[in-house]
Structure 1
């Protein structure tokens, strides 16, 4: 399906609303097929930014996986300056809906079935060098099942709308729901594929614990503190140790100790689930899983060899004690230590110097900001409560700066300057302080015409706000380290 227009579809009902527009269930007039139309308002966006969003759609459309919501088409309605995305329709809502509707704990068998599909979904994205960056139960969509199963799970909302903010600084920010933020993001460190794995672990925990998240708090600042501490209540004892260990593995504080998604595919219960339900693997995912299983096999062989060496040494030690001082032991052989299974990350790594939380998600689950256990811990350490208060103040300050910053970005975009020129000008103002008018004129008006002189004030404001936000990020990081210490 290509070259669609809004006239090709009959709007049936609104099924969601986001920052950039509304999401509709619709019927295609030609064949009666049911799809989702997602609206993205383009007001204030430059041509380059719109093209970036369209390119993102094309990348997602190339992902051929049963575990990722399919992007069929995109088109622009010039009369309303709106980008429309045509996507696969999931009839049963989201995983969050399934969790809330379940009166009892999800069964072990269903848990492995859902978890395996989620792993396959993220593997499909990572194999295509796409980081999701906003994994949560609300972004796991539930469609009709196959192989006699009631549901099939698919990841969606890979952040096309975020590309509409694709100025140079916006590429340095991170967007995500606060409950799913990894420790490295809370510490203003770099985001990579292992941050996706952390969010996947949080989603698994939420599914296995009747919708409760592993890290709870009364406010956002305390939540970030608890994520960095890394302590959470155990999962219900009804689940197998393998399932509990899987969640614990994903929620390792150190990103280097977390598995990559293909290592998750290699564990026996996931492999058994794939075979049991005859789940289809995209070729790139299947290859990644095979390589991970080979690595796992080598590690197991190494562990067996190490165990044998330890047994032989024990025997030699016993013989030595009986032979007296004339016995010369064999040369000691160093035992190799097994290394964690880690996928190369450089192709999927994104820099982040500033924390940016999606403000629309902060109060999404209000009950989770009330946890007596964490309150008692804070009361036992008054200095922690003081740090949390300071952290909350810094987050509020950053939120105010962010609003001003976004307003400035929109003003810059309204001047319709080419993206490369805009990036050059932004770098110029960011890297140079205390410029006089002559310096500005000599550089700026080589790149833009005189009738766009008004943009200069916004570049100055941009540079100022950027540095203020960077300073706030540094202060947030200091507070985090104090709390952890």
Structure 2
């Protein structure tokens, strides 16, 4: 169901109950030291996380090879292991970038192209403000979980956010791809290594300065912009230096006043503040009127979303303190609202 530089992802069915899983088969024999470290890092980070909006890790094992065919001998015979097989939650609706294009295509278009998508879409194919904020708020909840664990994602983008079908039929966001995530010694720690996708690099990363969770917040602002604009990047450039210059100067086209209310526009602008200290934390972003209203909708909607489950089909037993085992998205939204001092009430009317 997917392929990359060093491996493929297979859809697997558990014989005992028919449950579907995604199995990432990575050819570690072809990797250099850096790539091996990133693969190990992804497994280590996944083991630390348990949240309704994070792709659920189940187990990992080394194998001697066989290219995913299921044979125990394969290319490696009885020698050194050649493959790492990571068993994860299967997400049925692909990544969020593709999901946005799919929705836009289904709804029609007004002749504006999404760069590089091959799909024409625009006003008629755009996500509604409520849909944008539902995706954004769920991503923010996942990022909050990471930051509370002292983890920086460092490669937040639509292609690394996946979408599952909830028990109520609505989209449930799942943050994934933790290959270059960084576990800090403390929640106030900093990083120095420049990593990630250029379109989402924060100004401090572009300048080679130390950075912290506020760089993830910058990327979150880029993601919000793309959700509002059918996948178009906030920052563009004909070359990498031109792109970096636009990032450093904060040059992006403001969100449409006709399509988005003041609360969403102000939230997006605050996330892309050039100075890290002027950007909100993820908690502050979730306290914003637009996100708070969405959290309230998530906390009060009729059916719970997908539940994180363990290998035995039961709820997970290793959720972080404060995040109840097997908590649904609805339960998580309620808990976060209480922690932020804004308990669930009827959604507020959005100013124009």
Give TM-score scaled by structure 2 length: 0.69
Residues 233, 27 of structure 1: CA spacing in aligned structure 2 closer, same or farther, 3 A cutoff?
Answer: same
Q: Quick check: 2:194–2:208 contact (8 Å CA) kept in 1? A: no
Matches within 5 A, 1:247-266: 247-266=268-287
* Structure whose alpha-carbon radius of gyration is higher: 1
Residues 125, 162 of structure 1: CA spacing in aligned structure 2 closer, same or farther, 3 A cutoff?
Answer: closer
Q: Structure 1: any 5+ residue segments left out of the alignment?
A: 1-14, 164-170, 295-485
* Other structure's SS at 2:151 match: coil
Matched, 1:275 2:261: no
The residue number in structure 1 matching 2:213 is: 193
Q: Of the candidates 184, 199, 203, which is equivalent to residue 204 of structure 2?
A: 184
Q: Quick check: 1:263–1:289 contact (8 Å CA) kept in 2? A: no
The residue number in structure 1 matching 2:4 is: 18
The residue number in structure 2 matching 1:330 is: none
The residue number in structure 2 matching 1:35 is: 21
Task: State how far apart, in whole Å, the 1-side matches of 2:136 and 2:170 are.
Answer: 15
The residue number in structure 1 matching 2:252 is: 232
Task: State how far apart, in whole Å, the 2-side matches of 1:259 and 1:160 are.
Answer: 23
* Other structure's SS at 2:88 match: strand
| 1:51 Cα deviation from its structure 2 partner | 8.5
Deviations 1:315-339 (A, max 9, x none): xxxxxxxxxxxxxxxxxxxxxxxxx
The residue number in structure 2 matching 1:207 is: 227
| 1:81 Cα deviation from its structure 2 partner | 1.3
Deviates more, 1:212-221 or 1:284-293: 284-293
| RMSD, aligned CA | 3.1
| 1:122 Cα deviation from its structure 2 partner | 0.7
Deviations 1:58-96 (A, max 9, x none): 442231111000111111013351111111111111110
Q: Of the candidates 49, 57, 78, which is equivalent to residue 71 of structure 1?
A: 57
Give TM-score scaled by structure 1 length: 0.51
The residue number in structure 2 matching 1:89 is: 90
Residues 33, 206 of structure 1: CA spacing in aligned structure 2 closer, same or farther, 3 A cutoff?
Answer: same
The residue number in structure 1 matching 2:46 is: 60
Task: State how far apart, in whole Å, the 2-side matches of 1:99 and 1:131 are.
Answer: 25
Residues 229, 35 of structure 1: CA spacing in aligned structure 2 closer, same or farther, 3 A cutoff?
Answer: same
Q: More helix per residue: 1 or 2? A: 1
Task: State how far apart, in whole Å, the 1-side matches of 2:201 and 2:156 are.
Answer: 9
The residue number in structure 1 matching 2:328 is: none
| 1:276 Cα deviation from its structure 2 partner | 1.9
Q: Quick check: 1:206–1:213 contact (8 Å CA) kept in 2? A: yes
The residue number in structure 1 matching 2:163 is: 142
| 1:217 Cα deviation from its structure 2 partner | 1.3
Deviations 1:325-381 (A, max 9, x none): xxxxxxxxxxxxxxxxxxxxxxxxxxxxxxxxxxxxxxxxxxxxxxxxxxxxxxxxx
| 1:287 Cα deviation from its structure 2 partner | 7.5
Task: State how far apart, in whole Å, the 1-side matches of 2:32 and 2:242 are.
Answer: 38
Q: Quick check: 2:155–2:181 contact (8 Å CA) kept in 1? A: no
Q: Quick check: 2:153–2:180 contact (8 Å CA) kept in 1? A: no
Q: Structure 2: any 5+ residue segments left out of the alignment?
A: 65-75, 109-124, 184-190, 306-319, 324-331, 343-352
* Other structure's SS at 2:53 match: coil
